[in-house]
A = this chain, B = another copy of it.
Amino acid sequence: MLVLSSPSGAGKTTISRRLLEIEDDLTMSVSATTRRKRPGETEGKDYYFTDNQSFGERVNRGELLEHAKVFDYYYGTPRAPVEKALSAGRDVLFDIDWQGTQQIYEQAGDDLVRVFILPPSTRALEARLRARAQDSDEVVARRMSEASSEMSHWQEYDYVIVNDDLDNSLQQVRAILAAERLKRTRQIGMGEFVKLLRSGH
Q: Contact residues of A with B, CB < 8 Å?
A: 116, 154-155, 157-161, 171-172, 174-176, 178-180, 182-184, 187-188
Contacts and interface: CB of A to CB of B under 8 A. Distances in A.
A10 to B, nearest CB: 15
Contacts of A183: 158-160
A184 B182 CA distance: 19
A138 B188 CA distance: 34
Contacts of A184: 116, 154-155, 157-160
Max chain B C-beta neighbours (<10 A), residue from A155, A160, A171: A160
Contacts of A161: 182
Q: Is the interface of A mostly helix, strand, loop or mixed?
A: helix
Nearest to A154: B184
A173 to B, nearest CB: 9
Nearest to A174: B175
A98 to B, nearest CB: 13
A168 to B, nearest CB: 10
Contacts of A176: 175, 178-179, 182
A50 to B, nearest CB: 34
Nearest to A175: B178
Contacts of A116: 184
Q: What 6 A-B pairs are tightest by C-beta distance, nearest first?
A: A179-B179, A175-B178, A175-B175, A176-B179, A159-B182, A175-B179
Contacts of A157: 184
27 contacts: A116-B184, A155-B184, A157-B184, A158-B183, A158-B184, A159-B179, A159-B182, A159-B184, A160-B182, A160-B184, A160-B187, A161-B182, A171-B178, A172-B178, A172-B179, A172-B182, A174-B175, A175-B175, A175-B176, A175-B179, A175-B182, A176-B178, A176-B179, A176-B182, A178-B179, A179-B179, A179-B180
